[in-house]
Structure 1
Amino acid sequence: MKQFNTRAIMASLLICGFVGMFSETALNIAMTNLMDVFQISAATAQWLTTGFLLTLGILMPMTGLLLQRFTTRQLFISSLASSIVGTIIAALAVNFEMLMVARVLQAIGMGLLIPLMFNTILVVYPPDKRGAAMGFVGLVIMFAPATGPTVAGLLIEYLTWHYIFWLSLPFLVIGLLVGLKYLENVTEVTKPRIDLLSVVLSTLGFGGVVFGFSKAGEGGQGWASSLVVASIGVGLLALVLFSLRQSLMKEPMMNLRVFKYPMYIVGLLLVLSCTMIILSSMIILPMFLQDSMKLSAFDTGLMLLPGSALNGILSPRMGRLFDKYGPKWLVIPGLVIVAAMLWFFASMSTVSSIVLIVALHIGLMVGISMVWMPAQTNGLNQLPPELYPHGTAVMNTLQQVAGAIGTAVAISILSSGMENYLHDSAAPTNPNEIANAMALGSQHVFLFAMIVTLIGLALAVFIRRVVVNHAANHSMH
């Protein structure tokens, strides 16, 4: 096996991944501020997030193909060029349109970088070291969104939102320079044919589903809106045609043979349930803290910091435990902890103590760290090397879709809970009643997340450690 400078390769990928994830969540805290500055409605501001997710949803399915058509360095440089240009435009943005273009460029950068990161780990690290390496990716994926709101809260309070991007820029440049020096081409370029019909169907399919669910979550008519129904309908139809097309092709754009591997499926489903749990609770909790408990954005960021930081710090540790003991002893207890925390969250009210909420959030994040990376690594380990790009593409794409669905469902449950409460209330405009309505809606969302967790727990019973025997595979080919 070829020796790589794994430290330097990982460092460059992780720095860039961190900055990308950071600016994604930092902007969420700035939304109210941007609505004032640009004189735009909440629905328009929402596009800064929806557009980002849509770009990822459209680009991710193609990454399996791109990873085989271009060298690692080519993809890395394109990804960073897109991120850096996007970040500069965002830092200089004077209107909504400019910022929107910047977000799409940043999303293209992230959409190329994340699959590249997973694929590089699978190629560069031997199976017995992968858990720990994947844990570092977990650190970045969880830690960046955790620090985003806190740092952004400070920047907005003392400077302007532009500094979110000025702060990110030097790190992207450093990541690019380290990558240019040390990143080697780790994958073989096989130049598969690009099938235009697959590209169109995948764009319509994943794009339509992500767009439909994002729109539904924005409020307004919600699920009843004809645009939502049409785009989810068209999306699902395109996905069915896309899947049929892939199964008939000799060199599919997204190889669905990955679904022949049972542990990959279990791992994938557990990762998707984690995505839905994290996203539904990560959207509702800050809203609850700010609207029901009347805390500032900065205080909210600080309260959520210990849990998210701990999740990030524990990820590599969980990865090492996984390398040693396999997934079962981490995943099942992890899900039990998550379910217990969500059960307590579901009884929160406007008078709950801040200490309790911070403690529950820490418990929730520790539980998630025990499930996410072990399930993901175990699943990917079962795939033969030639399916790595496809396995990561399928997983990353479906995570975007699960994220959009989780967010939309959470917001719908929250709104309907609030409406029902205020409908029966004697003083529906009273701020205290609105805060109570928010608390009730939030409780429903946490119950929904708990049900998702219990389904995950039922699945986790089937998880088995994958013993990687790729030495045999290599001698056969």
Structure 2
Amino acid sequence: MSAAMQERPAVQAGRIPTVVRLLVLATFVVILNETILINAIPRLMESLHITQQSAQWVSTAFMLTMAAVIPVTGWFLQRVTTRQAYAIAMGVFLAGTALSAIAPSFEVLLLGRIVQAAGTAVMMPLLMTTLMIVVPEQDRGRVMGNVTLAISVAPALGPAVAGLILQAGSWRLLFVVVLPIAALVTFFGLRKMENIGEPQVSSIDWFSVSVATLGFGGLVYGLSLFGEAGGGVGPGIGVVVAGVAAIAVFVIRQLKLQRTGTPLMDLRILGHRTYSLSLALISIGFLAMLGAMILLPLYLQNIRGLSPLETGLLVMPGGLAMGLLGPTVGKVFDRFGSRPLVLPGSIGMVLSLGGFTQVSMTMPFWQVLGLHALLMVSLAATFTPVFTLGMGALPPHLYSHGSSMLGTLQQVAAAFGTALVVTVMTARSGHLVAEGVAPAPAELSGMKLAFGIAAALTVVTIVVAANLPRRIATDDTAADAQAPDSAVDQPTGS
């Protein structure tokens, strides 16, 4: 795939290449599965006779596998053709989905989810890398708007889709419904898929693979322990510290390998200021999104007594708005640059999460719907320009490494967001219950505090947004050497 980075296929301006359309569709289908089981936890507990903590592992194991596998994808995508990468990723995903659908026990279901995640982990870096190769710079914002549909809207819609499917029966239907859709996407994708360039033969440092797996996987696992009842915080801290230590070893190893030109993940991507700023903003955005996605169902079902279907329907408009706005946001970015989108989007995130600190036993549902929609629209206005700016800031030979880093940190941010809000909520409500407060008001108070901390963290996105350039200069070095405002007038050809 790397050879194509030197020589882009001719693409008609204003049109989305077929290969990108196919990859967006496939990525949407596979990423939807990251959050589709959130609403099915009670069914899993009843059907498989497991505790809530065990049931949460169907989501935790997915994120953990993604975090462990994605660092290897930069190397993998350079060694295989586009068709081979697509076939392997979708084949592995289909195998995991089939295994999950027929799982006779929780252990087999967990294995199926791990296999699913291994396939999913390849799709997003494959999509991002291919897009940067085949789409001209002046069209990237519009095309990235469609990519936002896959990588941002899919996890947002997961619980809503699950709520609808679960009305028809067992949790197994979640996999039975996805399986034929994914099979059709794979079949038609392979018929139409074109190879983008030729693979590059390169060696892999297995020590780096091992340390990356232990580091990123351990970090996600440790963060997931924070939300568990029964003293999960102590072990969680220990695992997180061990994970961070392994990541430090990984970083040192990559810096050494960069001198020979064969790092597993080329950390020179972090030397590009615009990419680093984009990475920070995307990570905080995903933290906020996943944190809200965990808290809202708990609030709506545990405090307000809604069913999974009613919960799914209430959050569906926000997810749909995010998806429908993606292409429009991309066109606005192509024409006006990032500043008119990212700054208001960052402010909208803070206002939305701030509004959720006012949840109560009687808050009108239309207000909950409105705040959720504001959050989703704000994320749509932010993600598309920031993805485009961040990846566009890198030289072509670093695209696969940039998308690999992006995907890894998204999983870590998602795990951190989930762990943060659950830990804060649990600690606050537990303290109040010990003081004699009734469980429901105590849990509500914990949710308010968790939303407040998430809102405080997203204030950082406003600062980052103010420092992003409107457009990428001819080369990233030139862009980064200029102040944000001086980069405003760089031409895009639109």
> Does 148-157 or 48-57 show the bigger shift?
148-157
Q: Equivalent residue for 2:469?
A: 464
CA distance, structure 1, for counterparts of residue 118 and residue 188 of structure 2: 21
Map 1:221-232 onto structure 2 (within 5 A).
221-225=231-235, 228-232=236-240
* Pairwise CA distance, 1:24: 2.6
Question: What are the residue-to-residue correspondences of 1:179-190 with 2, within 5 Å?
Answer: 179-190=189-200
**Unpaired segments of 5 or more residues in structure 1?**
none
Which residue identity does 2:466 align to in structure 1?
Answer: V
CA root-mean-square deviation: 1.8
Correspondence for 1:340: 351
How many Å apart are 1:15 and its aligned residue?
2.4
What's the counterpart of residue 247 of structure 1? 255
Q: Which secondary structure does the structure 2 equivalent of 1:24 belong to?
A: coil
- Please give the TM-score of this superposition, normalised by the length of structure 2: 0.91
Instruction: Indicate the residue corresponding to 2:384 in structure 1.
Output: 373
Matched residue, 2:326: 315
- What TM-score, normalized by structure 1, do the two folds share? 0.94
Aligned residue in 2 for 1:300: 311
Cα deviation code 1:371-398 (max 9, x no counterpart): 1121121111110000000111111111
Deviation at 1:36, TM superposition (A): 0.6
Q: Measure, in 2, the Cα distance between the counterparts of 1:150 and 1:195.
A: 41
**Residue 430 of structure 2 aligns with which residue?**
419
Partners of 1:15 and 1:172 within 8 A in 2: no
1:235 paired residue number: 243
Q: 1:173-212 CA distances to partner (integer Å, 9 max, x unpaired)?
A: 1211222122222144222211111111111111111111
Q: Does the 8 Å contact 2:214/2:246 carry over to 1?
A: yes
Matched, 1:383 2:364: no
Aligned mates of 2:477, 2:430 — CA distance in 1: 60
| Structure 2 counterpart of 1:37 | 47
Partner deviation per Cα, 1:263-286 (whole Å, 9 max, x = no partner): 001111000010111011110011
2:3 alignment partner in structure 1: none
CA distance in 1, matches of 2:46, 2:290: 26
Q: Indicate the residue corresponding to 2:280 in structure 1.
A: 269
Identity of aligned residues (%): 34
Flag the structure with higher helix content.
1
> 2:135 aligned to 125, 132, 146, which one?
125
Q: 1:330 to 1:6 in 2, by over 3 A?
A: closer
**Deviations 1:66-96, CA, capped at 9 Å, x for gaps:** 1111111111100011111111111212211
User: How far apart, in 1, do the equivalents of 2:417 and 2:232 lie?
Assistant: 14
Counting matched residue pairs gives: 465
Q: Any conservation in 2 of the 1:43–1:218 contact (CA below 8 Å)?
A: yes
Whether the 8 Å contact between 1:318 and 1:369 is mirrored in structure 2 is: yes
Show CA shifts across 1:130-174 (max 9, x none).
Answer: 111111121123333343323322332222211111111121112
The answer to whether residue 340 in structure 2 is matched with residue 329 in structure 1 is yes
Q: Point out 4+ residue stretches in structure 1 off by more than 6 angstroms.
A: 470-473
Give the superposition deviation at 1:8. Answer: 2.8
Say if 1:368 and 1:147 are closer, same or farther in 2 by CA, change over 3 A.
closer
Look up the SS of the partner of 1:366 in the other structure. helix
Structure 1 range deviating more: 262-271 or 456-465: 456-465
Please give the alpha-carbon distance, in whole angstroms, between the structure 1 residues aligned to 2:127 and 2:409: 17
In the TM superposition, residue 471 of structure 1 has moved relative to its aligned partner by 13
Partner residue, 2:10: 3
In 2: Cα distance, 1:312 partner to 1:140 partner: 8
In 1, Cα distance between equivalents of 2:425 and 2:52: 17
Matched, 1:350 2:357: no
Partner residue in 1 for 2:457: 452
- Match 1:408 to one of 401, 415, 419: 419
Query: How far apart are residue 258 of structure 1 and its match?
Result: 0.4
Aligned to 2:89: 79
